[in-house]
Amino acid sequence: MENKEFAHFRKRLKKTQKQMAQLLGVSLKAVHSYEQGWRSIPGHVERQLLFLVSLTKLKEKSRKPCWVVKKCPKQRKHQCPAWEFQAGHHCWFITGTNCEGETHSNWKEKMKICRSCEIFKSIFEPPE
């Protein structure tokens, strides 16, 4: 996640930098550093921020789960943790999903796929 995207999502949540620091469990100085681009945004902070944004977005309108949108074959669907936990709107949040027929074991690799996915894009429009 880039610093401008972080700032965009913080503003979208209508939080001050201090409030964002409290929500993410980091220092105010860390939030300043993320937004200025002085410090890279750790995966756990990115994940928490995206989760909070998704909760506000999912309230806006109902969505089809990922396995319906992606038309996953029955066998792949039944092996996927997103289906197992009925988290078809948070598939991007769960490491170990079977996206595009491949399981990604870490957050960084998974996010490369998720950022180009229509499920992710429908929740997280890119910053202007």
* pLDDT surpassing 50 at residue 127: no
Mean of all residue pLDDT scores within the chain: 87
User: Mind listing the pLDDT tens digit for each residue in 4-28?
Assistant: 999 999 999 999 999 999 999 999 9
| Ordered domains of the chain (ranges, CATH) | 1-60 (1.10.260.40), 62-128 (no CATH)
User: Mind listing the pLDDT tens digit for each residue in 38-57?
Assistant: 999 999 999 999 999 888 87
Tokens matching residue 71 = 């038309």
Neighbour count for residue 40 (Cβ, 10 Å): 13
CA angle 70, 107, 4 (to 5 degrees): 95
How many Å apart are CA 36 and CA 53, to the nearest integer?
20
Looking at the chain, how many residues does it have? Answer: 128
**What ranges make up the beta strands (E) of 1-128?**
none
- Tell me how far CA of residue 15 lies from CA of 7, 23, 57, 90, 123, in angstroms: 10, 9, 15, 22, 19
- Tell me how far CA of residue 70 lies from CA of 21, 86, 94, in angstroms: 35, 15, 16
pTM: 0.75
* pLDDT surpassing 50 at residue 105: yes
